[in-house]
Amino acid sequence: MKYAVLDFETTGNQSSDEIIQAGLAIIDHDLTISQVYRSYVNPGIPIPPFITGLTGITEEDVKDAPGLDEVMMEMVPLLDDAVLVGHNVAFDFNYLQSALDKTGYMPFSGRILDTMDFLKIFFPSLSTYQLGLVSQEFNVQHDRPHQADSDALATALIFLKCLEEIEQLPLLTLQRLSDLFNNEDSDLAWFFDAMLQEKQQKEFGVNPDGFTYYRQFALQVNDWMDIEPARDHMLVNPLKDVSFEQFMEQVREQLQLKLPEYEEREAQTMMLEQVMQVFDEDKHLLIEAGTGTGKSLGYLLPAIYHSVKQDEKVMISTHTINLQEQLRERDLPLLTEVVPFPFQAAIFKGRQHYLCLRKFEHKINRRDFTTPKEEVMTAAQMIVWLAQTETGDDEELNLGNRGGDFWETVASESESCLGRSCPWFRKCFYHRAKHEAGVADVVITNHSKLFTDIQAGHQLLPSYDRLVIDEAHHLEDVAGKHLGLQLKYFTVVHTLTRLFKDSKTGQLPSLHSMLQQAGTEAAMKWITVIDGMYPSLIEVKETWDKLSELLFALIPERSDAAPGDPGQFVTRLLPDKKPKAWDALTTLENSIYITLGDILRKGERMVAEIREEQDDYGSESLITDISGLLKDLANERETLRFFMKLEDENTVYWLEANGNYRNRSLQIFAVPIDVSAQLKAYFFDKKKSVVMTSATLTVDKSFEYVIEQLGLQEAANEDRLMSAMLPSPFNYREQALVLIPRDFPSVKGSVGDDYFVQTLVRSLADSAIATKGRMLVLFTSYRMLRQVYDPLKELLSDEGITVIGQGMDSGSRTKLTRRFQGQQASVLLGTSSFWEGVDIPGEALTSLAIVRLPFQPPNHPLVEAKSERLQREEEPLHEVVGASGSNSLQARVRRLVRSSADRGIVIVYDTRILESYYGKYFLYSLPGPKMEHMTLSQMVPRISEWLNDDEES
């Protein structure tokens, strides 16, 4: 095959725009690049300044260039008998057809391939598909991005990399891909078919080593039952007669050899000693350790020492997946090299993060695709990924926007697990992770999983007596959400529609058609039962719609909302003051409760009967999924009933919704006001040692608030609690500057008016130019992030600064952070949660802009209920507001300065920090940076001056 790799530069991206440069790289049959054609084209119209800024192509460059006729005359022969290839090829193909038409040539009728598709399928874990960044990743020469010949050549080299990758694939994977695209009338289907034929001729019956072949899939994993504990072969404990000090001496020697820049920090040494002490003395510990302490090693090394020496597993819990990933990718590989004996640390996430191979096989074999075009691509990515992944963890995949819906249908879940009777059991990713946690010395999980394990009667995590809680300032919130109840409008709708959407879609219709094929007397009886369930499911959906509309109507239009503000609405419901219309709402809930009860009885009886009669894998798999969905419905039914009863004085009930999506965005919450008693019972009474650490645990430099909120008072009274505030290794006064523009417009709600957004975008752009990008902007709402993304991107593109947006550009937080670090000049927009666990040391990050203060407002139902309780106990309200907000602001400032060489600027675009009574607690909690407030016009000169001081010093 001959390939012609095409790229055009144009005066814009509308069909009426003109070509200003053409590039064409020819790949010959022997897969060498035989020729690169390049030419400027005189467009006959002016080139917009934006395009010159992007491409570097000026009026001067095209003034004497050939016209389109001449360029097409040279290009057309090169396209003869070639497969057309491009990066996002539809753009270039449209311009090619238009140019051929304008110059009197026949349209191009050959095959067309897109390198974007190839990258998605063959490199499913790539964090980005942007040409420049992929070129860096693959070490492909790409000297002049946005110049047609350089883009065409880079695309050709990337395409060749993809062809090399195809060569390495097992024949079975290629057969799977060919089958998958078989029904698609596309050039990709033709390509896979051609590749498969070629591979079959070369390697008939031969498959490369390093893969496991099972049920027509090529996998990277073997049976997890073969995984053994790390020191199974050792007869004597490697720490017998070795003190912690001796162990640390050996580790420090290795660290210095491995990392010449490693320096021992006073705070880290203190932390190592404190954690070791509470493990030895069976006590608990609160330890505030600011950024730069080396907190992860501060608890990991004592945890490894203790678990290996005492043969006692240590559990470590983080709040975010981000921090789990960071420990997996950065800290654990380092420790594996510097700890002088083998140990095992396992990462164990929530079940929904692991792929269920049974469901995936079922989905692929039945081609159960809701949106075939997108889902076939996602399935192809995952077929290739199976030959690469050892964990089956969704964080490894770049699934794109619609891929999340696909993942939900193939993720592992307890309700639909066949356990040992599943043909995939020995290969199962979730059971592998669980087994690895079982044989590990140290297990790294997250707060959410800690509580899911409690709710599951301690069936999920291996048993443990020592627990380290990192990011501990989130523990109370996570506990409330898990020990309370939460239900979204769409949770119920998704369960109902996965059971039955219409006569062809859903698990019940799938069972219906399977039973029809069986044709037995029993099958006919069950078909009648299913037919009878359809109208009831429709009735529940209609009643739920009515109920959620009435619940939404209870939420008052916010008094602080700007006209037409579609922000997040919240309203609290009080048990002793039920809304007037509550009886009508409980009647609807009662109807849902009764109808669902009937559906569940019939469904569960039918499932039990079919299970007894049928035992083939196809129907067992389907029956298990239906059984899981019925259990989900039963849980949702009970949650709704508990909420609608509104009878527990110790629970806060509230509704949340979004003005734009109205009742479809409805969420109902019932959360305990005080979780301290449960935390005490589950952790502080039961466990020998619990270490809680965070950069921010104190309020007003005291641990009193957190001791009370977490249920540690008794431990403190009995002298079972130690606490420590570690000194910071940094001089924040010299290294950080906090700027507050005092004349900045205020914003109400989660969305900004035009004036606010324009002022914010202009100021962010000016500040980003002054700091040469390297800026992270934090929002408290996605909506405001979306409002800012496009206009900011446009303003900064002329300056060569890239804008990356969480939720706007595909990829997980880890992947977006990597992109941000990999680019010289970029601005990353994220929500407040983005910052947790993200580590961006050094040059990559210079400034942090906070659009709104990250705290729950005093009128949030949970804050309100807590403050009512505190007022009854005559405690000040600022503690509740201050604890959530000042801690998270403090954490942000601390994270900006990650080493003694870092300098950083924080801009707070929220004048409430100066005006409100709780603002002073925010300022007081900061770790001592220089703070200045000024007018907006003075800010950019001050940023430049401060950064120049740095360069001069």
175-220 pLDDT per residue, tens = 999 999 987 778 999 999 999 998 888 765 556 677 889 999 999 8
Residue 559 has pLDDT above 50, yes or no: no
Task: Report which secondary-structure segment, H or E, holds 345.
Answer: strand 345-347
- Computed over every residue of the chain, the mean pLDDT equals 85
Q: How far is CA 776 from CA 209, 592, 896, in A?
A: 45, 46, 10
pLDDT of residue 311: 92
DSSP bridge pairs for 7? 23
Ranked by mean pLDDT, the top range of 633-637, 695-699, 740-744, 746-750 is 633-637
- Would you tell me how many other CB atoms lie within 10 Å of the CB of residue 408? 12
Higher-confidence residue of 556 and 803: namely 803
pLDDT of residue 881: 46
- DSSP E strands, 568-688: 568-573, 651-658, 662-672
pLDDT of residue 618: 61
- Asked if residues 360 and 427 have their Cβ atoms less than 8 Å apart, the reply is no
- Asked if residues 715 and 687 have their Cβ atoms less than 8 Å apart, the reply is no
CA nearest to 485, candidates 353, 631, 645:
645
- Would you tell me how many other CB atoms lie within 10 Å of the CB of residue 116? 18
Higher-confidence residue of 399 and 253: namely 253
Torsion angles phi and psi, residue 692, rounded to 5: -115, 125
**What is the pTM assigned to this prediction?**
0.79
- Asked if residues 673 and 650 have their Cβ atoms less than 8 Å apart, the reply is yes
Region 45-58: mean pLDDT is 85
Pairing of the two strands 284-288 and 689-694: parallel
Q: Read off the tokens for 44.
A: 């006959």
Say how far apart CA 667 and CA 424 lie, in whole Å.
36
pLDDT of residue 819: 72
- Asked if residues 668 and 859 have their Cβ atoms less than 8 Å apart, the reply is no
Region 219-235: mean pLDDT is 87
Residue 486 has pLDDT above 70, yes or no: yes
Helix, strand, coil abundance in the chain, percent, nearest 5: 55, 15, 30
For 286, the 3-state DSSP assignment is strand
CA nearest to 493, candidates 535, 544, 539:
544
Residue 817 has pLDDT above 60, yes or no: yes
* 615 Cβ contact partners less than 8 Å away, ≥ 6 residues apart: none
Residue 814 has pLDDT above 70, yes or no: no
Higher-confidence residue of 423 and 519: namely 423
- DSSP E strands, 412-479: 442-446, 466-469
Region 419-437: mean pLDDT is 93
Q: Kindly state the percentage of the chain with pLDDT values over 90.
A: 48
675-688 pLDDT per residue, tens = 999 999 999 999 99
Tell me the HSE value of 67 on the side-chain side, using a 13 A CA sphere. Answer: 5
- Residue 520's Cβ-count burial label (10 Å; 0-12, 13-18, 19+) is exposed
Residue 895 has pLDDT above 80, yes or no: no
